[in-house]
Amino acid sequence: MEKTYYNPDDLKKFGDIGEFQKDYADKFFEWYGAVFSEGALTEKEKSLIALAVAHVVQCPYCIDAYTTECVKNGYSNSQMMEAVHVGAAIRGGATLAHSVQMMNKVKDISL
Amino acid sequence: MKDEYHKILEFNSDPESQLKILEEVTRISDRVPFFKEKLTASGLTEFKPAGIQVLQINLGNLCNQACKHCHVNAGPAKTEIMDLKTLKQCLEAIRNHRIPLVDITGGAPEMNPDFRWFVGELRKLDKKVIVRCNLTIFFEGAKYNDLPAFYADNGLEVVASLPFYSADRTDNMRGKGVFEKSVQGLRLLNENGYGQKDSGLMLNLVYNPSGAFLSASQKLLEDEFRHILFDRYGIEFNNLFTINNMPVSRFLDYLLRSGNYIAYIEHLVNAFNPVAAAGSGSSCGGSIV
Q: For position A72, which CATH number holds?
A: 1.20.1290.10
Q: Does residue B249 form part of some domain?
A: yes
Domain count, chain B: 1
pLDDT confidence of residue B84: 97
Does residue A87 lie within any of the structural domains?
yes
Query: Could you tell me if residue A27 is inside a domain?
Result: no
- Span B186-214, average pLDDT: 96
A19 in a structural domain: no
Q: Nearest residue on chain A to B2, judged by CA atoms?
A: A8
Contact (Cβ atoms closer than 8 angstroms) between residue B183 and residue B233: yes
- Whether the pTM exceeds 0.90: the reply is no
Range of the structural domain that residue A94 is part of: 42-108
Asked whether the beta carbons of B47 and B86 are under 8 A apart, the reply is no
| Residue A1 pLDDT > 80 | no
* A44, A72, A77: residue with CB nearest B213: A72
CATH code of residue B175: 3.20.20.70
- CA triple B168-B171-B174, angle to 5 deg: 150
Our CA-based measurement puts residue B52 at a distance from the nearest CA of chain A, in whole angstroms, of 35
Domain containing B135 equals 50-288
pLDDT > 80? residue B282: no
B65 — pLDDT class (breaks 50, 70, 90): very high
* B148-167: average pLDDT: 96
Residue A88 within any structural domain of the chain: yes
* CB-CB contact of B107 with B72 (8 Å): yes
What span, in angstroms and rounded, lies between the C-alpha atoms of B87 and B82?
7
**Closest Cα in chain A, distance from residue B192 (Å):** 30
Give per-residue pLDDT as tens, A75-85.
999 999 999 99
Q: How many CB pairs under 8 A join A and B?
A: 28
Average pLDDT score over residue span B185-196? 98
Find which of A66, A71, A76 to mutate to test the B interface (most B CBs within 10 Å of its CB): A71
pLDDT score of A81: 98
Asked, for residue A11, whether it belongs to a domain, the answer is no
Work out the pLDDT band at B281, boundaries 50, 70, 90.
Answer: low
CB-count exposure of residue B271 (10 Å: 0-12, 13-18, 19+): exposed
The pLDDT of residue B2: 45
- List, for residues A38-76, the tens digit of each pLDDT value: 999 999 999 999 999 999 999 999 999 999 999 999 999
In the predicted model, what is the mean pLDDT of chain A?
A: 95
pLDDT at B56 over 80: yes
Question: Is A49 within a domain?
Answer: yes
The answer as to whether A3 is a domain residue is no
Is B24 among the domain residues?
no
Strands B54-58 and B287-288: parallel
- Is the model's pLDDT at B175 over the cut of 70? yes
Residue B135: pLDDT above 60? yes
Give the number of domains in chain A.
Answer: 1
